[in-house]
Amino acid sequence: MERERQKTRDKRRRTLIVAAAVVGVLGLATVVGVIAANTGKGDKSAKAGPVVAPSGATGKDALAIQTGKAEAPHTLVVWEDFRCPACKSFENNYRDTIHELEAKGLLKTEYHLVTLIDANMRGSGSLNGANAAACAQDAGKFTAYHDVLFQNQPEEVDDAFGKNAKLLELAGKVDGLDTPEFRSCVENGTHNSWVAKSQEAFRAGQFRGTPTVLLDGKDIFADQANQMTPQKLKEQVEGTAKSSGSGAAKASPSASASASASSSARAKTSSKTGSPAAGGASKGAATGAATGAAED
Burial category of 17 from C-beta neighbours within 10 Å (exposed 0-12, middle 13-18, buried 19 and up): exposed
Nearest-5° angle of CA 259, CA 275, CA 234? Answer: 65
Q: Provide the 8-state DSSP code for 253.
A: P
Burial category of 40 from C-beta neighbours within 10 Å (exposed 0-12, middle 13-18, buried 19 and up): exposed
Of 108-112, 170-174, 214-218, 252-256, which gets the smallest average pLDDT? 252-256
Cα distance between residue 47 and residue 73, in whole Å: 39
CB 141 within 8 A of CB 176: yes
More confident call, 106 vs 44: 106
* Per-residue pLDDT band at 2 (split at 50, 70, 90): low
Taking every pair of Cα atoms in the chain, the longest distance, rounded to a whole number of angstroms, is 116
* Per-residue pLDDT band at 208 (split at 50, 70, 90): confident
What's the pLDDT score for residue 165? 98
**pTM of the shown model:** 0.70
Any residues with CB less than 8 A from the CB of 81 and at least 6 apart, and which?
A: 87, 113, 114, 115, 116, 117, 126, 130, 210, 292, 293
Answer whether residue 83 shows pLDDT above 80.
yes
Cα distance between residue 63 and residue 57, in whole Å: 6
Average pLDDT of the chain is: 78
Answer whether residue 44 shows pLDDT above 90.
no
Of 208, 216, 185, 204, residue with least CA distance to 110: 216
What's the pLDDT score for residue 284? 37
Of 19-33, 69-83, 102-116, 198-212, which gets the smallest average pLDDT? 19-33
Any residues with CB less than 8 A from the CB of 219 and at least 6 apart, and which?
A: 212, 213, 260, 263, 264, 267
Answer whether residue 45 shows pLDDT above 50.
no
Of 3-7, 78-82, 96-100, which gets the smallest average pLDDT? 3-7
What's the pLDDT score for residue 224? 87
Any residues with CB less than 8 A from the CB of 157 and at least 6 apart, and which?
A: 121
Residue 229, φ and ψ in degrees, nearest 5? -135, 165
Rama region for 284: left / alpha / beta (φ>0; ψ in -120 to 50; rest)? left
